[in-house]
Structure 1
Amino acid sequence: MPTERLSVVVTRRLPELVETRMSELFDVALREDDTPMTRAELAEAMKGCDVLVPTLTDRVDAAMIAGAGDRLKLIANYGAGIDHIDVATARQRGILVSNTPGVVTEDTADMTMALILAVTRRIPEGLALTQSGGWSGWSPTALLGGRVGGRRLGILGLGRIGQAVARRAKAFGMQIHYHNRRRLRPEIETELEATYWESLDQMIARMDIVSVNCPHTPSTFHLLNARRLRLMKPTAVVVNTSRGEVIDENALVRLLQDGGIAGAGLDVFERGAEINPALRNLNNVVLLPHMGSATREGRIEMGEKVLLNIKTFADGHRPPDQVVPSML
């Protein structure tokens, strides 16, 4: 007698290849359009499924988990970041949580370097000038940016992505510095030629470029607050491809407007898609729509990890990418 297939709810449109494979394996409810579920829709979905596949646009908080049905036993997140899921409450309810770590490392590191170059070399300004028809020819003093070679790069969070950024930056001739909760092993520091700073304040004050590559947790919320941002050199720039909540966005805007720092490259924002209007009016800021991990290869690999986590769970085993509160 065939085993009953797991009931799976997917909250956003995924690559067609992933959706097809998921439909073959499970009793899956797919999203018809690529819009986030409303809170009411998400709550309803969680009442009747065995597995929920959310994304970072779904806030699966304590209240949502409290209202989930008894069938829900796995939240298989499509993405590495899980700050939108109350993992501790899920665990108390006997619900496992998994994610997709490691998949977006290279793609996000590529985008970090792209933002560093875009800000320091004023690429968007040059693009706007040529597309508007305002460029009349080469000039020795036009759109002068800065050379990245020899600059000090301070990486906030030297995990998978931070290390991938360091490797790229090293190839560009940059000096690598980092701040972490815990210092890395000597062999990793040697490979990356990275200098560890126990004091974030001291590192921030001495860097030419600061790259945010740490997750959003209660301890990293506004880690770059107004006081710390003011420590940066007026010629320095900050780049964030991690989580918007790590930077106090209002404080950053004031500093950029006053010339306290030279520029910023942001792929993420403190309030998600609600970008501070003042940021749009600054020509020393490069803004991207959270596209750091947006490659076809990466999105499919993320889906494959979700499938593996669900399939392993369905077979009665622990998902390979299970997240537990002690990891946060």
Structure 2
Amino acid sequence: MTTKPRVYVACNFPQEVLDLFINRFNASYNDTGRVLTTDELIAHALGMDAIVLTAPDRLDAAAVQRLPASVKVVCTYSVGTDHIDLDALQARGITVFSTPDVLDESCADAAWLLMLGAARRVIEGIDLVRNGTWQGWSPRQLIGREVWGSRLGILGMGRIGRAIAKRARGFDMAVHYHNRNRLGPELEAGAQYHSSLKSLAEHSDFLCIACPASPSTRGLVNKEILECLPADAVVCNISRGDIVRDEDLILALKTGTVAAAGLDVFAGEPDIHPEYRQLPNVFGLPHIGSSTMRTRLAMGELLCSGLDSYFSGS
């Protein structure tokens, strides 16, 4: 193709990221400030060579069938692809680009924010200060969970999981992990492998979920797994909300089976289970794991480079 591809950006990007697509491709874009409906997305895709989506933009099999014949590439501004039907796209010969590898460090930082915030009861502490109800220092005030020297269990030892493990060494933590397959020694870096999630849970004072979302991982962290955790354990989720069975985690938080949870992702977000908003031992964030400008720009650059390579034939 000798001319620039016609690109439509459906995402509500920061201006600096949007400018990458405008300057590179003279892209048209969603200027509504909200997620488009499927009908709107299909309408805007007319005549486009590529469309750029992100996690809230759903592209199921029926929507894929409605995509105009001009669309050759779907870019998703995310690592996860559970919001788009890959099989349907492949069947139509549409190439998919995502943004792996460039958000590992920011997500690992966020995982530690979640674990520390949950362990040290930050939500309750902030409420005391902001509500004016703090009565001054007391040796019984907001006694939390020790992080230093504890055992960290990582479900999913991919690039994000390994970045989380690297930071754990600064807290003198013993790192355990569960993967479908054991890593080589150079990637394990001293972490202990568990062939089952149940075994991992039994050795996890902190259980951090960093595995990809898929039909096989949906509801993987359930009552059976949560009951295997040691006393006063903390659960952290930096991956996708539906890996955790909400009702089971909420019950565990209420009964003390789990001391606290640090959650950046939720099933059905933003329409999350209402009890998460009420529980004082939930340190919840609105899916900001990759939300730094450096990472946002790197994600955009990766997709732009993919589009350049695809349409230039290189």
Q: If the TM-score is normalised by the length of the shorter chain, which range does it land in? A: over 0.9
Moved more, 82-91 or 261-270: 82-91
Alpha carbons 2:252, 2:258 under 8 Å: kept: yes
1:272 alignment partner in structure 2: 269
1:325 alignment partner in structure 2: none
**Cα offset, 1:223, TM superposition:** 0.8
2:177 alignment partner in structure 1: 178
2:269 & 2:286 partners in 1: Cα distance?
A: 9
1:233 & 1:21 partners in 2: Cα distance?
A: 48
**Cα offset, 1:292, TM superposition:** 0.9
Amino acid at match of 1:260: T
2:106 alignment partner in structure 1: 107
1:81 alignment partner in structure 2: 80
Alpha carbons 1:55, 1:78 under 8 Å: kept: yes
Amino acid at match of 2:130: Q
User: What are the Cα deviations for residues 283-323 of structure 1, in whole angstroms up to 9, with x where unaligned?
Assistant: 11111000111101111111111111111111023xxxxxx
From 299, 308, 313, the counterpart of 1:311: 308
**Cα offset, 1:182, TM superposition:** 0.5
1:284 alignment partner in structure 2: 281
User: What are the Cα deviations for residues 17-53 of structure 1, in whole angstroms up to 9, with x where unaligned?
Assistant: 3322322332421111321111211222334311010
2:203 alignment partner in structure 1: 206
Q: Is 1:263 paired with 2:250?
A: no
1:260 & 1:24 partners in 2: Cα distance?
A: 53
Moved more, 210-219 or 4-13: 4-13
Give matches, 1:1-328, under 5 Å. Answer: 3-189=2-188, 191=189, 193-317=190-314
**Cα offset, 1:88, TM superposition:** 1.8
Corresponding pairs, count: 314
1:49 & 1:174 partners in 2: Cα distance?
A: 50
Q: Which runs of 5+ in 1 are unaligned?
A: 318-328
Alpha carbons 1:15, 1:300 under 8 Å: kept: no
1:326 alignment partner in structure 2: none
Alpha carbons 2:21, 2:304 under 8 Å: kept: yes
State the superposition RMSD in angstroms: 1.4
1:74 & 1:85 partners in 2: Cα distance?
A: 13
Amino acid at match of 2:166: R
Kindly report structure 1 stretches of 4+ aligned residues shifted beyond 3 Å: none
**Cα offset, 1:97, TM superposition:** 0.3
SS in 2 for 1:141: coil
User: What are the Cα deviations for residues 213-262 of structure 1, in whole angstroms up to 9, with x where unaligned?
Assistant: 00101111111122222222331110001100100011111121122211
1:26 & 1:64 partners in 2: Cα distance?
A: 25
1:170 & 1:85 partners in 2: Cα distance?
A: 36
SS in 2 for 1:48: coil
1:320 alignment partner in structure 2: none
Which TM-score applies when normalising by structure 2?
0.96
**Cα offset, 1:110, TM superposition:** 0.4
Q: Which runs of 5+ in 2 are unaligned?
A: none
Amino acid at match of 1:235: D
Judging changes above 3 Å, is the alpha-carbon distance between structure 1 residues 146 and 24 closer, same or farther for their aligned structure 2 residues?
Answer: closer
Aligned-residue sequence identity (percent) comes to 40
1:42 & 1:234 partners in 2: Cα distance?
A: 48
SS in 1 for 2:19: helix
Alpha carbons 1:8, 1:51 under 8 Å: kept: yes
Alpha carbons 1:243, 1:270 under 8 Å: kept: yes
**Cα offset, 1:3, TM superposition:** 3.5
Alpha carbons 1:152, 1:209 under 8 Å: kept: yes
Amino acid at match of 1:168: R
**Cα offset, 1:271, TM superposition:** 1.0
Alpha carbons 2:151, 2:173 under 8 Å: kept: yes
1:294 & 1:24 partners in 2: Cα distance?
A: 22
Alpha carbons 2:122, 2:283 under 8 Å: kept: no
Which TM-score applies when normalising by structure 1?
0.92
Alpha carbons 2:241, 2:268 under 8 Å: kept: yes
1:247 & 1:21 partners in 2: Cα distance?
A: 36
SS in 2 for 1:148: coil
